[in-house]
């Protein structure tokens, strides 16, 4: 018998999708049965009370969670998100229900042993409910009480060799795609760069002093598996400068039906024989491809490295040899001002240890944003407010045709005085020699 | 500015603000009249020395004098 009746939540389970309600009910049963004889450090019925308070919220049509709090582990201003229930008598199991953000391993590679250790720790000192992974990328531990926080932190750092991630107004847990560990398209070692910057910016990650959150995300190529371009304040997107490498024999094999397009990803349905013109050439967004007399050609200066042709014919086409990354800045998901994709700032940068060039760009941006950014203003909003020109100025980057999305649509150019020879002062007598009043 | 002077300035300024107990980092940097990245060292030390404490909504972090504000009392914490 469930502790609380939850008719509204039960209805959610009838939909076609996997249900979090079913998951939490199963976890509630697991805790009650306690087959492994775990010495639970927080109430055994935490999951039942979680369902109970959610049901009550649906009945009242208002939340019963208080917002925020003074919780954290000593010396860290992030990584713990305090949540308190405003009906603690009814639901003592969730009187405190704090979330921990745990810094996920690079590329989200785990050993099963490590996963087991994480789960054992969380069954022992928390609700056992996890979110693998949160949208920022972290491992999320959902629900524990204040007195467990230091214990969990100690165990994570001393036994599991594992840090907390970021929350609040600080650098959020950097996240990366699997990169060169598994993916032949990765133009730089995403995990190496992600790890290096995580270590370099420990202070920014753990001690909040920014106007708002700040995110780094690392994609090895423009396929953007961690969606850096849609949600990172700095998106590191792998790219290359030279030609896409073409194996003409393999192209012929795709055309001849020998290799399935897209690595067989769409093989579940019969789409008819592969048509290179319809499926590749005509879909190239910059129309820079040609296929004639059995030969594929790409006009490299026009190619925007969208990855489409490579994705369709991976055995025939490979990323170029002169590889690095592009830095794009200012993406954010909507809260105040609507969703925004990141904007190209550095078209190409080599990704080589110790990454000094990259760090210089980062720190120039931070200096600007920390001083000029309003409270709760993301970098992308500051860029809109003060302009791309200002961003170029603070980063010392020269304007470039690749920063321009389309030709000007208005005729106004505002010069700064220092940009005009002789400044704005003029000799009026000299002027009057040529022009009457 | 040394640490003792920074402590004094911030504590005095925050105690003066009536009815408000949580402050943005930049409010504190302004009290010290310093660039944020320099002020951060002094302010961090004040947290370490438990003069200030962090408050977080999850998305935004604020600072307050330790123990000030309703939440600490309501939650029975120091
Ligand atoms: C290289 C020389 C010139 C430049 C750079 C120039 C530039 C411009 C610009 C930028 C505007 C638009 C202002 C706005 O949108 O409010 C404008 C408007 C105008 N220009 Fe010129 N102009 C030039 C020569 C001339 C000449 C020689 C004439 C006529 C003798 C002329 C007549 C006008 C008129 C009548 C307008 C107003 C249009 C309107 O109000 O809709 N312009 N000009
Ligand atoms: C064969 C002669 C010309 C050609 C081929 C030409 C071409 C162009 C082009 C392509 C643009 C668009 C540039 C852009 O948006 O980035 C433009 C803009 C403009 N042109 Fe010309 N132009 C010619 C003559 C003139 C003359 C004689 C004037 C002035 C007397 C003039 C004034 C302007 C102005 C003011 C604009 C800016 C309009 C805006 O940005 O809305 N052009 N022209
Ligand atoms: S972003 Fe590119 S390099 Fe990274 S995993 Fe995806 S396809 Fe591979
Ligand atoms: S990567 Fe994209 S833009 Fe470049 S040739 Fe292939 S389809 Fe065209």
Q: Distance between CA A237 and CA A356 in Å, rounded? A: 17
Note down pLDDT in tens along chain A; length 437 residues: 689 999 999 999 999 999 999 999 999 999 999 999 999 999 999 999 999 999 999 999 999 999 777 778 988 999 999 999 999 999 999 999 999 999 999 999 999 999 999 999 999 999 999 999 998 899 999 999 999 999 999 999 999 999 999 999 999 999 999 999 999 999 999 999 999 999 999 999 999 999 999 999 999 999 999 999 999 999 999 999 999 999 999 999 999 999 999 999 988 888 889 999 999 999 999 999 999 999 999 999 999 999 999 999 999 999 999 999 999 999 998 666 678 999 999 999 999 999 999 999 999 999 999 999 999 999 999 999 999 999 999 999 999 999 988 888 888 888 888 888 888 888 899 999 999 98
ipTM of the complex in this document:
0.83
Beta-carbon separation of B25 and A371 below 8 A:
no
Residues A135 and A182 in one domain: no
**pLDDT computed for residue B70 by the predictor:** 58
Kindly state the tokens that stand for A126.
Answer: 């928390």
* CATH number for position A213: 3.30.413.10
Q: Note whether residue A110 is domain-resident.
A: yes
CB-nearest to B55 from A70, A211, A371 is A70
CATH topology of domain B3-67: Arc Repressor Mutant, subunit A (1.10.10)
* CATH number for position A265: 3.30.70.20
Q: Note whether residue A165 is domain-resident.
A: no
**pLDDT computed for residue A267 by the predictor:** 84
Neighbour order of strands in the sheet with A139-144? A80-81, A98-102, A139-144, A129-132
* CATH number for position A133: 3.30.70.2500
Residues A300 and A314 in one domain: yes
A223 lines ligand 3 (CB under 6 A): yes
Q: Note whether residue A228 is domain-resident.
A: yes
Q: Residue ranges per domain, chain B?
A: 3-67
Number of structural domains chain A divides into: 3
**pLDDT computed for residue A337 by the predictor:** 66
For residue A80, whether the previous peptide bond is cis, meaning omega lies within 30 degrees of 0, is no
Residues A222 and A253 in one domain: no
Q: Distance between CA A230 and CA A226 in Å, rounded? A: 9
Residues A36 and A185 in one domain: no
- Of A158, A184, A217, the last residue of a domain is A158
Q: Note whether residue A136 is domain-resident.
A: yes
**pLDDT computed for residue B76 by the predictor:** 45
Residues A47 and A114 in one domain: yes
| Pick among B22, B45, B75 to test the A interface (most A CBs inside 10 A) | B75
Residues A54 and A195 in one domain: no
Q: Which ligand has the shortest distance to the CA of A227?
A: 3
Cβ partners under 8 Å of residue A149, min gap 6 = A71, A72, A73, A80, A98, A100
Residues A15 and A145 in one domain: yes
pLDDT tens digits, one per residue of B2-11? 999 999 999 9
| Protein residue with its CA nearest to atom 39 in ligand 2 | A411
Q: Which residues of B touch A (CB under 8 A)?
A: 24-26, 35-37, 39-40, 43-44, 47-48, 53-61, 64, 71-72, 75, 77
Q: Note whether residue A164 is domain-resident.
A: no
Residues A347 and A279 in one domain: no
**pLDDT computed for residue B73 by the predictor:** 44
Residue that has been written with the tokens 């003029």 in this structure: A426
Q: Note whether residue A349 is domain-resident.
A: yes
Sign of CA dihedral A268, A273, A276, A278: negative
Domain extent, residue A189, equals 175-239+325-418
Residues A139 and A210 in one domain: no
């Amino acid at each position: 018998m469930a502790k609380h009746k939850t008719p509204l939540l039960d209805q959610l389970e009838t939909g076609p999708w996997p249900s979090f309600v079913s998951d939490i009910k199963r976890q509630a049963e697991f805790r009650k049965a306690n087959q492994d004889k775990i010495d639970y450090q927080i109430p055994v019925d935490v999951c039942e009370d979680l369902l109970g308070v959610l049901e009550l919220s649906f009945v009242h049509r208002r939340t019963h969670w208080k917002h925020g709090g003074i919780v954290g582990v000593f010396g860290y201003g992030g990584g713990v998100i305090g949540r308190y229930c405003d009906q603690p008598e009814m639901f003592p199991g969730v009187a405190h229900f704090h979330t921990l953000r745990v810094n996920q391993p690079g590329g989200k590679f785990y050993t099963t042993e490590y996963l087991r250790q994480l789960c054992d720790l969380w069954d022992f000192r928390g609700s056992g409910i996890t979110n693998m992974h949160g949208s920022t990328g972290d491992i999320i531990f959902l629900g524990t009480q204040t007195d467990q926080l230091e214990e969990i932190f100690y165990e994570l750092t001393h036994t599991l060799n594992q840090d907390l991630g970021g929350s609040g107004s600080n650098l959020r847990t950097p996240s990366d795609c699997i990169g060169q560990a598994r993916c032949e398209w990765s133009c730089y070692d995403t995990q190496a760069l992600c790890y290096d910057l995580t270590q370099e910016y420990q202070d920014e990650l753990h001690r909040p002093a920014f106007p708002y959150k700040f995110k780094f995300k690392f994609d090895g190529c423009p396929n953007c598996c961690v969606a850096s371009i849609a949600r990172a304040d700095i998106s590191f997107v792998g790219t290359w400068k030279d030609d896409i490498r073409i194996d003409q024999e393999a192209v012929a094999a795709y055309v001849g039906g020998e290799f399935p397009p897209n690595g067989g990803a769409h093989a579940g349905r019969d789409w008819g024989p592969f048509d290179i013109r319809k499926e590749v050439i005509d879909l190239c967004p910059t129309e820079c491809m040609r296929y004639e007399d059995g030969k594929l050609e790409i006009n490299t200066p026009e190619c925007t490295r969208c990855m489409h042709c490579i994705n369709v014919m991976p055995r025939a086409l490979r990323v170029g040899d002169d590889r690095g990354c592009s830095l794009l800045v200012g993406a954010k998901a909507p809260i105040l001002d609507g969703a925004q994709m990141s904007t190209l700032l550095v078209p190409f940068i080599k990704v080589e240890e110790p990454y000094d060039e990259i760090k210089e760009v980062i720190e120039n941006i931070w200096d600007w944003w920390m001083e000029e950014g309003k409270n709760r203003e993301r970098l992308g909003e500051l860029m809109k407010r003060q302009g791309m020109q200002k961003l170029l100025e603070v980063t010392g980057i020269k304007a470039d045709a690749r920063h321009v999305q389309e030709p000007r649509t208005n005729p106004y150019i505002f010069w700064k005085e220092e940009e005009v020879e002789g400044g704005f002062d003029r000799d009026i007598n000299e002027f009057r020699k040529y022009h009457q009043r | 500015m040394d640490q003792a002077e920074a402590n004094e300035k911030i504590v005095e300024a925050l105690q003066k603000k009536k009815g408000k107990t949580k402050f943005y980092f930049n409010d504190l940097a302004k009290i010290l009249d310093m660039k944020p990245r320099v002020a951060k060292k002094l302010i961090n030390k004040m947290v370490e020395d438990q003069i200030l404490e962090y408050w977080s909504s999850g998305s935004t972090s604020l600072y307050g004098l330790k123990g000030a504000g309703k939440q600490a009392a309501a939650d029975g914490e120091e």
